[in-house]
Chain A
């Protein structure tokens, strides 16, 4: 491990709690909406008012099981928001799994035994207590009070994949979430934009989705759009029903797809992209197609939003106002505001000014696909645990050659079928990391010390790139 001046940069990236900084307000209101009759959400062509939402949240809070944790797997963003608010009111902590695969959910349940599942769909494990949200279940005549919530209370726990394969928990205090939403708004001058609708193509359980499609509407008095479909026909029809300009919170993958097909989206005012850097040509294409600015957010699950840029204006990122940045060799930390104590970043960064920097890409072990991230070491460990697999490696190809940045796998597994390997992986990793394709090989080009040097691996893999080579399975 690199020697580090630890007294200057006290940081624990393994598991950190975004505590609320001293000297800040002790409580924050759930919502920043002024008018109780104002629109809080758009769902299936109908407007839900602020008081309707609050009534539903209080009604649900009163009938939640007496548990410490609520695993919120709701897909519909309105149901997610009601569940999240009800959990806050009931002093429960929302667990936000980004992966709904069987094994990770089971592990989550084992790790947090005092939990139940809050869901709006039926694709969930039946071995845990379940609160099923339906429109009917949320009808209530109770309080429509906008609750005040202690800033230091843990509101949610988000997860990232750790290098061991066990997800790392990142606890978020209510204060840090509110401050993050405020920082986000300041970064995009939202003081002048009081009523807008946040439309998202990312799940609310993802930190970027939580910040932009839940916390931003909560804290800037915006409406949220409940839909979770990313299909152009759905988006187009829903956008036509909105009465306020829409901000689309999306990813480079979705933008690329919409742009390729020249999907027209009416009523957009702005586009925000995150999860991986957006190519400038795609940003230019989107700006030309929709006549709206395209901005990007740089952030991470641990810290939330850290910086932003207007992609077509330049490559440089501008750090959020309240944050500070520091670098030692090729490692960078940020601190302050909603981030709290020094946080080590997983990307390599080149500082260009006090608040400006260029992003050089992730450190070696990290892969990011469609907003999910995983450690190659962890993926390789899981692969090598498949019965009959003697050796194997996940490989991240060149971005221009890989299909949507997907990974491929080279595996030494005589007598084992493709289906067996895929079935094993599917239970343990998010589908975005499943290999496309999977190659069976006789051996991997390991050197005398058992390592796989980059150049040897590249040369070996080049062989498989030639068209017409069959792969067994």
Chain B
């Protein structure tokens, strides 16, 4: 898998990077460390909605080249699941 040497390799760093990306994209009023990586992104937890889902999908596609589909629903359950998914399928 092609990966730029500047990109974080450990999932922990990637998790923080994705958390910051979510906060920036969705203008959430929290800091990255406030997000419980195991908490639900939608509904309870961060309380995101379907509008956010589309925005997240677009920004992840742009940044990592990973296109989310509804069959990847499991990847959107938490920050940790999303990070694992991006880690596995990223092309940049």
Contact = CB atoms under 8 A, between A and B. Distances in A.
B91 interface: no
Nearest to B69: A233
B51 interface: yes
Contact of B67 (A232, A257, A473): A232
Contacts of A257: 54-55, 58
A471 interface: yes
Interface stretch (A81-89, A179-187, A311-319, A430-438): A430-438
B50 A230 contact: yes
A51 B65 CA distance: 42
A260 interface: yes
Interface residues of B, number: 22
A202 to B, nearest CB: 10
B84 to A, nearest CB: 19
A229 B70 contact: yes
A254 B54 contact: yes
Interface string A421-448: 0100010001110111110000000000
A261 B62 contact: yes
A437 B49 contact: no
A458 interface: no
Interface in B14-67: 26-30, 44, 47-51, 53-55, 57-58, 61-62, 67
B26 A232 contact: no
Interface in A401-423: 403-404, 406, 418, 422
B73 to A, nearest CB: 10
B81 interface: no
B51 A432 contact: yes
A234 B70 contact: yes
A338 to B, nearest CB: 29
A253 interface: yes
A404 B47 CA distance: 16
A124 interface: no
28 contacts: A230-B53, A231-B53, A231-B54, A231-B67, A231-B68, A232-B61, A233-B61, A233-B67, A233-B68, A234-B69, A237-B69, A253-B51, A257-B54, A260-B58, A403-B26, A404-B51, A418-B29, A426-B47, A430-B49, A431-B47, A431-B48, A434-B49, A436-B26, A436-B29, A437-B27, A437-B29, A438-B29, A473-B30
Interface of B: 26-30, 44, 47-51, 53-55, 57-58, 61-62, 67-70
Interface of A: 227, 229-234, 237, 253-254, 257, 260-261, 370, 403-404, 406, 418, 422, 426, 430-432, 434-438, 471, 473
Given A436-B28, A438-B29, 10 more contacts: A231-B68, A232-B57, A233-B61, A233-B69, A234-B69, A253-B51, A254-B54, A261-B61, A261-B62, A403-B26
